């Protein structure tokens, strides 16, 4: 049985959704059956990021008891499975966010589930944390977003959820930025990984693709892939070498 990992942030704009779609895509490329879920039903954009903005059935249909969660899973061309949230505001009127626990039924059908939580510390984000098994906190290397991230850590601990660590996104390597060690110490959680600032991320988003798919050798792509490997308890180098070995073997067979 897989685990539900909530991806949270103390504030918006730190790259949480970008992290979800790229880690999910990386896990899929590594051979893990992965589902990513847009838990931000108020202002959803995970589907927009992936070029699938308005699928017929979505998470709101589950929350309003109109559809089964199994009817909301879509296969993206890159191999990752997606449960989108709808962009129809009318659907928000009758939904019960307590029904979010229904996504637990997907745990028997995949290797990993990543839940993209709403930004900030609110009831919606708390509901996502409640249904999750583990939590990853996303922040930027500055005191403002890191201070807000601490609130997410506190909320996760309130519900006795294991915090896998902090993902430091959009790092420039400037002297004025908080160091990795300082961020980890401030939050009181391990460092999960670092994704450097990379213009290829925005370029890939404009193409409605993940940077892992569009620019696999870019700095950000490698950062996300290292984090994906670490989540599964593996070394990125070992996974890459294994994939390359399989590719060469396939060429020989042909």
Write down the CATH number for the domain with range 4-253. 3.40.50.300
| Phi and psi at residue 213, to the nearest 5° | -80, -45
CA–CA distance, 130 with 124 (Å, rounded to integer): 10
**What integer pLDDT is reported at residue 247 of this predicted model?**
58
**What integer pLDDT is reported at residue 94 of this predicted model?**
52
**What integer pLDDT is reported at residue 99 of this predicted model?**
81
CA–CA distance, 232 with 111 (Å, rounded to integer): 10
* Closest C-alpha to 120, from 105, 141, 138: 138
Kindly give the pairing relationship between strand 191-196 and strand 162-171. Answer: parallel
Residue 32 pLDDT class (50, 70, 90 cuts): very high
CA–CA distance, 156 with 101 (Å, rounded to integer): 16
Identify the weakest region by mean pLDDT among 57-71, 160-174, 209-223: 57-71
- Say whether pLDDT at 90 is over 50: no
Tokens standing for residue 68: 């089964």
* R_g of the chain, CA atoms, integer Å: 18
Residue 18 pLDDT class (50, 70, 90 cuts): very high
Domain regions of the chain by residue span: 4-253
List, for residues 128-151, the tens digit of each pLDDT value: 999 999 999 999 999 999 999 999
**What integer pLDDT is reported at residue 243 of this predicted model?**
63
**What integer pLDDT is reported at residue 244 of this predicted model?**
60
Q: How far is CA 22 from CA 46, 145, 186, in A?
A: 11, 21, 26
Residue pair 14/140 in contact (Cβ under 8 Å)? The answer is: yes
Task: Tell me the average pLDDT across 162-186.
Answer: 98
């Amino acid at each position: 049985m897989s685990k539900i990992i909530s991806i949270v942030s103390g504030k918006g704009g730190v790259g949480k959704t970008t992290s979800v779609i790229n880690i999910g895509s990386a896990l899929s490329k590594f051979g893990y059956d992965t589902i990513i879920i847009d838990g931000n039903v108020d202002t959803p954009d995970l589907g927009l990021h992936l070029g699938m903005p308005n699928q017929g059935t979505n998470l709101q249909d589950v929350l309003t008891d109109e559809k089964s969660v199994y009817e909301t899973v879509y296969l993206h061309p890159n191999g990752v499975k997606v449960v989108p949230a709808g962009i129809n505001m009318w659907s928000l009127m009758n939904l019960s966010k307590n029904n979010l626990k229904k996504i637990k039924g997907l745990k028997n059908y995949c290797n990993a589930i990543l839940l993209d939580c709403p930004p900030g510390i609110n009831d919606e984000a708390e509901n996502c944390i409640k249904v999750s098994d583990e939590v990853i906190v996303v922040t930027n290397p500055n005191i403002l977003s890191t201070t807000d991230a601490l609130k997410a850590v506190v909320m996760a601990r309130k519900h006795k959820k294991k915090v896998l660590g902090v993902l430091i996104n959009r790092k420039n390597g400037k002297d004025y930025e908080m160091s990795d060690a300082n961020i980890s110490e401030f939050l009181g959680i391990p460092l999960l990984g670092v994704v450097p600032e990379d213009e290829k991320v925005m370029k890939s988003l404009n193409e409605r693709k993940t940077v892992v798919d569009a620019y696999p050798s870019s700095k950000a792509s490698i950062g996300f892939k290292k984090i994906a490997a670490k989540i599964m308890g593996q070394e990125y180098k070992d996974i890459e070498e294994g994939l390359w070995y399989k590719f060469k073997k396939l060429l020989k067979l042909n």
